Structure 1
């Protein structure tokens, strides 16, 4: 009887301890996320630098293999990036300022058009209450305002441009030695470093392909809006380039302001042509070219991609939305590195990852009893 009571007491104690550990872990996650959100002014420039360095590390290593000194290679890459950024900033910056100044007048004209449409709908339904309720629900200028706020938010981030570029230089200088340092410091074998190495390679490949596809998307959108006769074609090209990094809804956010401006500035036929053009661009690049280049994709569930977009956007603002997929990939790798959290990484991953985990588990279960011990 006493033994039974002792066993029951131990089970109750383990249950309480398990629940307490879960509560502490959940509270720790909340504190960490809130801390990241509060520190975003400091963290965002370093995040941008880290991911830009991942894009450019392959050219850096290629130059080192061809006996180019590390400091010279880093300076060449950073100077090329600065030249491109300053040229684009000089061209697009004027368009952003002019668009922001003209935004109130565009919104007023858009309000008139929308109110006319709502009035027609209310007369058709013979209900003034429908007009009032629809008018309260619809804010026609939200998309234009959102586009302006995203561009202005990125402009604020770029005030730290020199900090970003200096950080990139130091990351590139350390790129060729970091693996040796980690192995010497922690005694990791080459096999144990394989997962981080593969992850960084996949992440760099993802960012490189995404950048090329985004550039092609932006240039095509710029040519489209210029051919239609829309104001600020360079602005729409830049917006399409940037928001192509945002999964799921980025292409929609990029298209809506251009379509609304076409409706206000040129009329319904041109707005329809803009819709068709943006749909064609997104189908071509998003459904055909990018999947072929990416292969198996990023290994993250589509639902997790969307949740990550919302979460990282809240934590880091517009930059968090642009980098939501790389940040979620990094979180997934961190969870995979610990046996206790690997189940969370599987839930974050794609169906292909889950099938691979099941295959590994099945293979282990069919191993002879002494196989695991002999291997160790």
Structure 2
């Protein structure tokens, strides 16, 4: 017969005070409230996380300066300059290319009208009536095409929105980065699980950004060279677009091919547009959708399904910036909810790219101790868990 005092003995688990189903419902409700709050403040949360990603990316520069025996302030300055160069460099290319696009687009108005006349003649030859052709093509005009291209550029430039805010955050985060290593070491002495989660998040984020940057540069060079060889205007702009959309998991090449395909349609007609689509499918689909996800999955430990769902979710919450930062945001959520607790790291076996060995995640040692049980007086062997 069990004794009520068993709940107070070491190694004896206390009964649940509330049903587990209610705990799940409360956790789900809390998650909904948190997501709603993030969505409301998306214009602030997005740039803050973008600055955090850039600060994590350039943090190895400060570590390198420390290992070389250089002053901490010099490593901070080098890291800050590197992050500023990334942001301002991309912004400069986008501004110059967008200005060139705005200058060249009005020259294609006549070619667009010629394309519509060709479509009308083709449909008329297939026996389609004039009224039906008019209804079908009434919504197509050159202004809508310009608006579509400008919308794509605005979405791309929106990634670097609130520029002054982002640059200021980078400055402050670079200052904090000088003492980040010692802070994590201090946390590790008291709460090793939290330090493990932070380091896992930072390491996974750097690996993801490194892999995406390398493949993005490869795709940008190949796309830009192919577009230049085919005579598509503004190949540099479309190469930068390919580089940025490479950070969008799984479907980035679909977003990146639309503007250059439309420009190729205006420049050389449907044939050139089809060639652009074929080249993008060969280069971008193979690299971004076949090869890169394998390396990304190995680097961050997320399955392809989780990667795609994270893209949908964070795009809905934060917009275009959420699409680019979907993987790092998912890594942060995993660090805060799963990696921070050794008892929940088993979930990585379900969402990871490959099932890890749980024994490596939560090592267990056996401690034998005498427990004076009131009813039986037996000796029990209790497992003791130590976080890795």
TM-score between both structures, scaled by the size of structure 1: 0.77
In the TM superposition, 1:1-376 aligns within 5 A as 17-83=19-85, 85-100=87-102, 113=115, 117=119, 120=122, 124=126, 141=145, 144-184=149-189, 187-189=190-192, 193-283=195-285, 285-286=287-288, 290=292, 294=296, 296-336=298-338, 337-338=340-341, 347=350, 349-350=351-352, 352-353=354-355, 356-357=357-358, 370=381, 372=383
Which structure has the larger Rg over C-alpha atoms? 2
- When residues 85 and 342 of structure 1 are mapped into structure 2, their CA distance, relative to the original with a 3 A threshold, is closer
For residues 136 and 344 of structure 1, the distance between their equivalents in structure 2, rounded to whole angstroms, comes to: 53
Structure 1 stretches lacking a partner, 5+ long: 1-13
**Contact 2:188 2:194 (C-alpha < 8 Å) held by counterparts:** no
Shift of 1:51: 0.8
Shift of 1:41: 2.4
TM-score between both structures, scaled by the size of structure 2: 0.75
Between Structure 1 and Structure 2, the one with more helix by share is: 1
Displaced runs of 4+ in structure 1, greater than 4 A?
14-20, 100-112, 114-119, 125-143, 291-295, 339-347, 373-376
Shift of 1:297: 4.3
**Contact 1:100 1:148 (C-alpha < 8 Å) held by counterparts:** no
Shift of 1:327: 0.7
Secondary structure at 1:28 match in 2? helix
Secondary structure at 2:181 match in 1? coil
For residues 138 and 23 of structure 1, the distance between their equivalents in structure 2, rounded to whole angstroms, comes to: 49
Secondary structure at 2:250 match in 1? coil
**Does 283-292 or 266-275 show the bigger shift?**
283-292
**Contact 2:65 2:74 (C-alpha < 8 Å) held by counterparts:** no
**Contact 2:212 2:247 (C-alpha < 8 Å) held by counterparts:** yes
**Contact 2:251 2:289 (C-alpha < 8 Å) held by counterparts:** no
**Contact 2:197 2:336 (C-alpha < 8 Å) held by counterparts:** no
**Contact 2:76 2:174 (C-alpha < 8 Å) held by counterparts:** yes
Secondary structure at 2:161 match in 1? helix
- When residues 292 and 352 of structure 1 are mapped into structure 2, their CA distance, relative to the original with a 3 A threshold, is closer
CA deviation profile, 1:100-140 (whole Å, cap 9, x unmatched):
57668869965874685487458637578986897699998
Shift of 1:215: 2.3
Shift of 1:67: 0.7
